[in-house]
Structure 1
Amino acid sequence: MAKKMGIVALLLFGVYVLCMYWYIFHSGDGKIPSALQGTAADPVMFMSGKELFLSGEYSKIRNFLFFIATPFEWLIYFLILLMGVSRYFEKITTSQTKWKLLQNAGYLFLLSVFVYIVLFPLNYYRYYLSKSYGISTQTFTSWMKDGVLDFWVSFGMSLIIVTVIYWLMKKSEKRWWLYTWLLTIPFTIFVMFIQPVVIDPLYNDFYPLKNKELETKILSLATQANIPAEHVYEVNMAEKTNALNAYVTGIGSNSRIVLWDTTLNRLTDNEILFIMAHEMGHYVEKHIYFGIAGYLLLTLLGLWLTNKAMRPMIARYGQVLKINKISNIRSYPLFLLLTSILLFASDPVSNYISRYQETRADQYAITLMEDREAAVTAFQKLTISGLSEVNPPLLVKWFRYTHPPMLERIYKVADHEGQKQEIPLKEEQKK
């Protein structure tokens, strides 16, 4: 039975990979609508021939990797259960100590190391791909350091979460999901509060914006928007990437507006001010708090569905999956498998809401700045720096894009009339 299920899982994954390969590389989707060709939103108008080629090639490879990576993780979790690896890890840790916390820590460490090793070739290829296309500037040593940090931060949080969840499962097999969700509320708020000052600085250096003249302009914008801001932060990303970015993070007194130094180095003041106005739009419209509320609602639904699925699956296939009961920590890969599937299935909804919020922030920035040209050129430079796909295929947009595609963003912020002449062509395109 276990062998048959394993073969079926591998065959299904193989068919899925072939289907996604055809869709990403040969479906012919993602073309620029004829009505928008020659406008400021058309990449031909602001990207060189080489940039267009690299953007198309890089985007397709990245999209394909995205769509196979998550199901590949599902396959790993399923095989870990099917082959008895999870039961073996539990057996090792329970034989070493009677302390439940240490047993959980040992099991999670073994499982995390195993998954990290299996996924390492795929993660390394993603790093190599970004490096070869000129997006990443990070050395292998620095990349490995970030990977190790990710491992330990994830391990520490997982240990807390898993210990609490499986303790609640032992206490109440029917209502553990509800109690877990209730504890998720303060935990999520706490993590959001400490992230800007505890977690993020583990990876990069953050400091107040060095360009005081620009900071004065940004704080003046904040005053116009009734935002109580004292500092704008910059972060040293140039040693890791050529991409551009800015974002809002944290809540309460730890909330921050952050600019990558790559953004500061490559955009004009007006373009930076537009991006800052965009981030202020998120603050004014309280998108962070709506995001937390949405996350908590999805978590409640996800935990309920996970419980509904785990119990009958263990009752019917427990012997094949080597799981005695739901409260055994060896069932954790099944928990990861189900929650990952549910998260993936919820991506189109959460991404749609995020894209709506980003559009609102763009509109707010235009109203505040009244500088459409800066908005257009900023988006064009963001596209070039990350070799972004301006008009992705539909499935890619649904599952990957938390921001509207650049085709939509540029078209909406630009003055629609006269765009064919308003944005000048690059020198190499004039020839």
Structure 2
Amino acid sequence: MEFLIAAVSTPVNFDAATATDAYIATMDAAARARSDAYFEGGYWLIPVNLIAGLAMAGLLLQTGFSKGLRDRVQGLVRSKSLTVALYAAIYTIVTTLILFPLTLWQGYFREHAYGLSTMSLGGWLNEQAIGLVTGVIMAAIFLTIFYLVLGLARRAWWIWGAGVSVILLAVAIFISPVYIDPLFNEYQPMEEGELRDDILALADANGIPADNVYVFDVSRQSNRITANVNGLFGTTRIALSDTLIDNTDPDEVLAVMGHEMGHYALNHLWEMFIIFAVVLAIGFAFTDRLFAFVNGRFGKSWGVSGISDIAGLPLLAACLSVYFFIATPVFNTVIRTNEAEADIFGLNAAREPDGFATAALRLASYRKIDPGRWEEFIFFDHPSGRARIAMSMQWKAGQLALGAQDQTPELRLDRARAISDALVEGPETRQE
């Protein structure tokens, strides 16, 4: 370790690769093994969730449940839209219950096994109930509109369906900060002080229309650090978790907030709307073909007349899930590219390369820090910890070469070691 520190002790000899290795080397082998095990376990959950979803769809169709539900709902209401809405609500409840054992293991027991959750079982179940209620309402609204478009557009439904889906997504993002997020967390104005002033100054310098900063209580759910600049059309809000404030230093907070502001300033949300529309159009076209193929062979026994029949929703969802599974590396690459752009924006905005580097180390509690090239391409929707630290050190090297007065060659290896020690000991959990 001593030779690594010595190698980066002067501006003239500052080497980004050596500095990156110095930061990575502070991570204890035990902490790294636990982080790798958690993240790599997520690789297997992708096909497991796909298989579970396909099995559930087969169960609902093969047993005649979907057909029977449609027929019963049609007997209660005459309106086709009400039929879809009621079917969607019941379908959401039933599928949630079927998959609940897997959800419980993934969302509660697995998170506790790796020391990432702070919730009691009762608290977790309460949030699941809230999520189910909101999910039922949103599914009923979305699917009613979606099936209306599907019936009207007929063969071109996959194009119109993608457009309508993006519009509904925009509406959800618009209302989320005001009506949905507060259901799960309490948002309070950040206490006045130097850090709050620095965040607002950073926002003002980068065109973020916000005059306040909000703190939300992630600590009641998890010990992860997070932040966001969220909202549309006047609902834009700067928010950061209490875990970010309580467990990191000010330069790390500013580095993280610079990244989040980058998403807003670079118009990533609008960019993702366009990409999402294209992705969905392709996915719906794929689903249209696959649905026709499968339903042509089994539709008569399932009682599904075609893709516009609400009884075929399990098959439609299954086809779409196959598409998203196949295209996982593509989606991850699109998101990862945006995240990398926000990273470099944040470095230029906040000018805290070491804060960014140690923040990346903190994320290593649940993200593998140094994956292989193909591993990162397939499974990572954010740049890896090594990639982020390397970017921050390359930025720092460039600034030192330019003679930037606000940058020094010293590394925060003391803080990096403290982060590693905390990961080895395991985060304390707080029960509600």
Q: TM-score range by the shorter chain?
A: 0.7 to 0.9
340-349 vs 252-261, which moves further: 340-349
Pick closer, same or farther for the CA change 1:181–1:354 going to 2, 3 Å: closer
SS at match of 1:326: coil
Pick closer, same or farther for the CA change 1:422–1:253 going to 2, 3 Å: closer
Question: Residues of 2 paired with 1:73 and 1:419: CA distance?
Answer: 52
127-136 vs 65-74, which moves further: 65-74
Q: CA deviation at 1:243?
A: 0.8
Question: Residues of 1 paired with 2:114 and 2:205: CA distance?
Answer: 40
For 1:13, the equivalent position in structure 2 comes to: none
Pick closer, same or farther for the CA change 1:362–1:175 going to 2, 3 Å: closer
Pick closer, same or farther for the CA change 1:403–1:211 going to 2, 3 Å: farther
Gaps of 5+ in 1: 1-35
Question: Residues of 1 paired with 2:224 and 2:103: CA distance?
Answer: 19
Asked if residue 66 in structure 1 is aligned to residue 73 in structure 2, the reply is no
How do residues 399-410 of structure 1 correspond to structure 2 at under 5 angstroms?
A: 399-410=378-389
Task: Say if 1:249 and 1:256, in contact at 8 Å, map to a contact too.
Answer: yes
SS at match of 1:233: strand
SS at match of 2:105: helix
For 2:217, the equivalent position in structure 1 comes to: 236
SS at match of 1:257: strand
Pick closer, same or farther for the CA change 1:133–1:37 going to 2, 3 Å: farther
1:6-29 CA deviation, whole Å, 9 max, x = no partner?
Answer: xxxxxxxxxxxxxxxxxxxxxxxx
Q: Find the partner of 1:412 among 371, 382, 391.
A: 391
Question: Residues of 1 paired with 2:274 and 2:324: CA distance?
Answer: 16
SS at match of 1:259: strand
Q: Find the partner of 1:198 among 141, 155, 179.
A: 179
For 2:413, the equivalent position in structure 1 comes to: 423
Question: Residues of 2 paired with 1:371 and 1:185: CA distance?
Answer: 35
Letter in 2 for 1:86: S
Question: TM-score under structure 1 normalisation?
Answer: 0.82
For 1:57, the equivalent position in structure 2 comes to: 37
Letter in 2 for 1:119: L
Task: Say if 1:169 and 1:327, in contact at 8 Å, map to a contact too.
Answer: yes
Pick closer, same or farther for the CA change 1:355–1:88 going to 2, 3 Å: same
Question: Residues of 1 paired with 2:130 and 2:49: CA distance?
Answer: 21
93-102 vs 282-291, which moves further: 93-102
Pick closer, same or farther for the CA change 1:228–1:103 going to 2, 3 Å: closer
Task: Say if 1:51 and 1:387, in contact at 8 Å, map to a contact too.
Answer: no
Task: Say if 1:38 and 1:45, in contact at 8 Å, map to a contact too.
Answer: no
Task: Say if 1:39 and 1:419, in contact at 8 Å, map to a contact too.
Answer: no
Letter in 2 for 1:82: Q
Task: Say if 1:233 and 1:258, in contact at 8 Å, map to a contact too.
Answer: yes
393-402 vs 71-80, which moves further: 393-402
Asked if residue 331 in structure 1 is aligned to residue 322 in structure 2, the reply is no
269-278 vs 181-190, which moves further: 181-190
SS at match of 1:305: helix
For 2:251, the equivalent position in structure 1 comes to: 270
Task: Say if 2:93 and 2:136, in contact at 8 Å, map to a contact too.
Answer: no
Question: Residues of 2 paired with 1:55 and 1:182: CA distance?
Answer: 39
1:373-418 CA deviation, whole Å, 9 max, x = no partner?
Answer: 22212211222xx332112356653454221111111122125989
Letter in 2 for 1:376: A
Q: CA deviation at 1:41?
A: 4.9
How do residues 311-390 of structure 1 correspond to structure 2 at under 5 angstroms?
A: 311-383=292-364, 386-390=365-369
How do residues 36-55 of structure 1 correspond to structure 2 at under 5 angstroms?
A: 40-41=20-21, 45-55=25-35
For 1:93, the equivalent position in structure 2 comes to: 73
Asked if residue 217 in structure 1 is aligned to residue 198 in structure 2, the reply is yes
1:321-367 CA deviation, whole Å, 9 max, x = no partner?
Answer: 43223322111111111122222233322221221121122212222
Q: Percent of counterpart pairs with the same letter?
A: 24
| Alignment root-mean-square deviation, CA | 2.9
Q: CA deviation at 1:264?
A: 0.4
Equivalent pairs, count: 393
Task: Say if 1:46 and 1:380, in contact at 8 Å, map to a contact too.
Answer: no
59-68 vs 112-121, which moves further: 59-68
Letter in 2 for 1:87: K
Q: CA deviation at 1:104?
A: 2.7
